[in-house]
Amino acid sequence: MKDIATSLDKDNVLSFLTDLILDMGVEQNEFNADATLEDLGLDSLDVVELAQGVKKKLRIAIAPGDFADAVTLGDAVERVLQKAAA
């Protein structure tokens, strides 16, 4: 995976989060970027893992609670971009 921390934009963050979620075991044929996190089968522990991945790879301080109102993957992308801009 390339280092996207220096080139954060919506598409790069979407791709990064997609890869993380696929690594959590979501089947490729089940994946839809507009699907809700719940539809993707992500539970609270998965959201913690998602936040940790963002912290580690993108070097963005984000807490699992920052994804609390993220309904879709697109919402999660927006939260990451908001934190990156802060």
Spatial CB neighbours of 34, under 8 Å, sequence gap ≥ 6: 72, 73, 74
The verdict on whether 3 is a catalytic residue reads: no
Give pLDDT, residue 54.
95
- The pTM for the full model equals 0.84
Query: What is the structure's pLDDT at 26?
Result: 81
The confidence band for 1, taking pLDDT boundaries of 50, 70 and 90, is very low
| Residue 45 belongs to some domain of the structure | yes
The catalytic residue among 39, 43, 66, 75 is 43
Q: 79 in a domain, yes or no?
A: yes
| 5 part of a folded domain | no
Whether 16 is in a domain gets the answer yes
* Per-residue pLDDT tens digits for 54-74: 999 999 999 999 998 888 888
The boundaries of the domain holding residue 42 are 10-85
Residue 3 lies in a domain: no
Residue 2 in domain: no
- For residue 51, is it within any domain? yes
What backbone phi and psi angles, to 5 degrees, belong to 27?
A: -65, 140
Residue 68 lies in a domain: yes
Residue 30's CATH number: 1.10.1200.10
